[in-house]
Copies of this chain bind each other. A is one copy, B any other.
């Protein structure tokens, strides 16, 4: 790509995360000359879009780069001719997240917005909307790359790859965070480390941790070195377990490996303060108060505590490598192919990739520990079934997805949750209520 005038459309541009990605574009401007940055949102987000959009303009102005920031509620206008489209949105807003978390926990099941019943319903709401956006991209910007960091990112990415022609990559900040953690632990630069990730989005294991070419994984396991994130309660891993596992599980795996403790903790919090939806709601309100300040012309420090740290750095790095054919290694959500032999070729997986101008090419894995295969297979199958349920509105498929999710204790509970959550999400699930609307 020798193109010198890039256009980016940010779907869900009114998000509190936007200042981060704007900062990223500013920093990389010399190597990746974005000239048009379209922030697009829906009617319900008009107010937030205005606030964050003005901040973006002030940031660009301060930096002195010729990026034109455009605010719009007209998605098609934003997408037309774009080189990159990013998606960061929440169908049903925070209120939907609250339900995704509250309903399961009230029935004694982990309530979490990226996996389990909560994750499934977030996916059921989001997939049809994303596929609708894809139709616009197919028509108006067929060569654009869509960078998806809407959760559950693995499901959403796989849905796009299966049901549209749009070129897409899914992104999570967890790998880049581990890489930074590793570099910091060993006092080297980020380019000197190379962890190997095995798995799918929010369900991966680190199976090697090269620092200047030497694998430090055993040392890390032995020394109890672990990374975590602010949005998942940090219980310590059992040392014998890690040693015999021979890998470091991502912090999200606590939901699976410490189900009892996580559930107890979640129940306790729920009784006291509600769930993470409430925390995020408060943080968001505070952030937008800050953003309103007309003297603010850079990303405020407080944003880093929001949970999605370095998401935007990951996104900007990816765009940059696609644009410059950089051929560096990044950890991304891509089509499996033959990388993980027991999963379908068209499943999305989260692994190291070489990013070329033609897109990311996943790298063969050096080792997949036997013991993790069943869990990975079960969750991936739940994901693929969820996509088919979202597209078809088939309740039987949704039931099968839920029953076979490892965090759901029985067919009976699955059925109860399914019915209650379908009803609660009725407004966002037209596919599931097609016949009733007649």
7 residue pairs, one from A and one from B, having the closest CB atoms: A374-B378, A244-B396, A213-B357, A342-B342, A374-B377, A377-B377, A338-B338
Residue of B nearest to A262 (CB): B410
Q: Which of A23-31, A158-166, A397-405 contacts B (4 or more CB under 8 A)?
A: A397-405
How far, in whole Å, are A381 and B401 apart by their CA atoms in the complex? 21
Beyond A327-B354, A371-B401, A374-B382, 13 extra complex contacts between A and B, CB < 8 Å? A1-B213, A194-B327, A241-B403, A244-B400, A261-B410, A327-B328, A327-B329, A342-B377, A361-B363, A362-B364, A370-B384, A374-B377, A406-B406
Which residue of B241, B329, B395, B412 contacts A354 across the interface (Cβ within 8 Å)?
B329
Interface residue ranges of A341-370 to B (CB < 8 Å) = 341-343, 354, 356-358, 361-364, 366, 370
Question: In the assembled complex, how far is the CB of residue A203 from the closest CB belonging to chain B, in whole angstroms?
Answer: 12
How far, in whole Å, are A354 and B63 apart by their CA atoms in the complex? 37
Contact partners of A377 in chain B: CB under 8 A: 342, 373-374, 377-378
A156 within 8 A of B: no
Q: Which of A42-50, A54-62, A252-260 contacts B (4 or more CB under 8 A)?
A: A252-260
The contact size tier of chain A is 35 or more
CB atoms of A364 and B338 under 8 A apart = yes
User: Which among A192, A243, A370 has the highest number of chain B CB atoms within 10 Å?
Assistant: A370
CB atoms of A241 and B399 under 8 A apart = yes
Residue of B nearest to A369 (CB): B400
Work out how many copies of this chain go into the complex. 4
CB atoms of A244 and B397 under 8 A apart = yes
Contact partners of A379 in chain B: CB under 8 A: 374
User: Which among A372, A375, A404 has the highest number of chain B CB atoms within 10 Å?
Assistant: A404
Residue of B nearest to A328 (CB): B327
Which residue of B259, B363, B373 contacts A363 across the interface (Cβ within 8 Å)?
B363
Interface residue ranges of A257-308 to B (CB < 8 Å) = 257-261
User: Which among A338, A364, A400, A401 has the highest number of chain B CB atoms within 10 Å?
Assistant: A364
A227 within 8 A of B: no
Contact partners of A399 in chain B: CB under 8 A: 240-241, 244
A413 within 8 A of B: yes
Question: In the assembled complex, how far is the CB of residue A306 from the closest CB belonging to chain B, in whole angstroms?
Answer: 30
A36 within 8 A of B: no
Interface residue ranges of A303-331 to B (CB < 8 Å) = 325, 327-329
How far, in whole Å, are A27 and B397 apart by their CA atoms in the complex? 48
CB atoms of A409 and B325 under 8 A apart = no
Contact partners of A238 in chain B: CB under 8 A: 411-412, 415
Interface residue ranges of A203-241 to B (CB < 8 Å) = 210, 212-213, 237-238, 240-241
Chain A residues packing against B (C-beta within 8 Å): 1-2, 192, 194, 210, 212-213, 237-238, 240-241, 243-245, 257-261, 325, 327-329, 337-339, 341-343, 354, 356-358, 361-364, 366, 370-375, 377-382, 384-385, 395-397, 399-401, 403-404, 406, 409-413, 415
- With A338-B338, A371-B381 given, is the CB distance from A210 to B358 under 8 Å? yes
Residue of B nearest to A384 (CB): B370
- With A241-B399, A261-B410, A399-B240 given, is the CB distance from A381 to B373 under 8 Å? yes
Which residue of B257, B363, B401 contacts A410 across the interface (Cβ within 8 Å)?
B257
- With A213-B357, A400-B245 given, is the CB distance from A378 to B381 under 8 Å? no
Question: In the assembled complex, how far is the CB of residue A388 from the closest CB belonging to chain B, in whole angstroms?
Answer: 9
Question: In the assembled complex, how far is the CB of residue A382 from the closest CB belonging to chain B, in whole angstroms?
Answer: 7
- With A325-B194, A329-B354, A382-B374 given, is the CB distance from A260 to B210 under 8 Å? no
CB atoms of B373 and A400 under 8 A apart = no
CB atoms of A381 and B374 under 8 A apart = yes
**What are 25 A-B residue pairs whose CB atoms fall within 8 Å in the complex?**
A192-B325, A194-B356, A210-B358, A212-B325, A213-B357, A240-B395, A244-B395, A244-B400, A257-B410, A259-B409, A327-B329, A338-B339, A361-B364, A364-B364, A370-B381, A370-B384, A371-B403, A371-B404, A372-B404, A373-B377, A374-B379, A374-B381, A374-B382, A375-B378, A377-B377
